[in-house]
Structure 1
Amino acid sequence: MSWSWEYVPDEDHVIAGLPPVLVKDVEEKAAELVRAAEVLYQHGASYEGASPPGGTVVLADGMFDYQIVPRHERVYIRQVTSW
Structure 2
Amino acid sequence: MSGDWQWEYNPDHDHVTGGIPVHVVAEVERLAGQLIELAETGIDVSELGNGPRSGGLRRMDAAGGWFYFLVAPRDPLIIIVRIVPPFDAL
TM-score by length of 1: 0.79
Is the CA contact 1:37–1:68 (under 8 Å) kept in the aligned structure 2? no
- Runs of 4+ more than 3 Å apart: none
Please, which runs of 5 or more residues in structure 1 have no aligned partner?
42-50
Matching residue within 56, 59, 65 for 2:68: 65
Distance 1:25 1:60 in 2: 6
- The CA RMSD over aligned residues, in Å, is 1.8
Is 2:5 the counterpart of 1:3?
Answer: yes
Q: Which has the higher contact order (CA 8 A, sep 6+)?
A: 1
Give % identity: 34
**How many pairs are equivalent?**
74
Report the structure, 1 or 2, having the larger helix content. Answer: 1
Please, which runs of 5 or more residues in structure 2 have no aligned partner?
44-53
**Which residue in 2 is equivalent to 1:37?**
39
